[in-house]
């Protein structure tokens, strides 16, 4: 339980997600099928927030990278003299820009993974746990307490570590 509280507090202090107790699963008050549960989750505010965090990063990053790539192609086509200009020895502007394309790809991949780890994964995990516990309670009829929830989550995280 202490490990769970520490992670929630660290996430809240970092401003990335709400503490674990603030996220709640959608109201599942009747026996639902799996598609019904997913539709209910998709209508929830927590799910919309996770999707919004994804879109706020992915769309601008993809647009910027596409513009950078198109600028390289258009410049190579429209200004071959500029691209052929030597920079150092046999290295010309076109080679340098081409290598920068590779570097940009790796940089964007790193930035995407970092953004997902810091801004989306914790919120998605909280939503997953909330929905799992709510549906499990509904399906089994067992009462879940906050202490049990934290203990169960800590145990499962230990299994996957």
77-114 residue pLDDT tens: 999 999 999 999 889 999 999 999 999 999 999 999 99
Those residues of the chain that have pLDDT short of 50 are 1-23, 25, 28, 144
- The helix (run of H) or strand (run of E) holding residue 33 is none
Report d(CA 96, CA 66) in Å as an integer.
18
Q: Please provide residue 86's backbone torsions phi and psi, each rounded to the nearest 5 degrees.
A: -70, 145
| Tokens at 15, concatenated | 């401003």
Listed as own residue / partner, the contacts of 143-150 with beta carbons closer than 8 Å and 24 or more positions apart are 146/21, 147/1, 150/1, 150/4, 150/5, 150/20
Contact assessment for residue 24 and residue 133, using Cβ atoms and an 8 Å cutoff? no
pLDDT at 160: 59
Whole-model pTM: value is 0.57
């Amino acid at each position: 339980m202490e490990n769970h509280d520490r992670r929630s507090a660290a996430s809240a202090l970092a401003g990335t997600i709400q503490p674990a107790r603030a996220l709640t699963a959608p109201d599942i008050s009747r026996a639902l099928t799996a598609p019904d549960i997913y539709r209910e989750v998709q209508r929830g505010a927590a799910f919309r927030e996770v999707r919004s965090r994804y879109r706020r990063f992915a769309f601008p990053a993809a647009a910027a990278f596409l513009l950078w790539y198109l600028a390289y192609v258009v410049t190579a086509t429209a200004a071959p003299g500029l691209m052929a200009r030597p920079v150092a020895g046999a290295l010309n502007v076109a080679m340098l820009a081409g290598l920068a394309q590779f570097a940009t790809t790796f940089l964007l991949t790193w930035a995407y993974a970092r953004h997902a780890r810091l801004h989306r994964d914790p919120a998605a995990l909280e939503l997953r746990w909330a929905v799992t516990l709510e549906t499990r309670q509904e399906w089994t009829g067992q009462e879940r307490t906050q202490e049990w929830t934290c203990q169960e989550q800590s145990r499962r995280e230990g299994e996957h570590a």
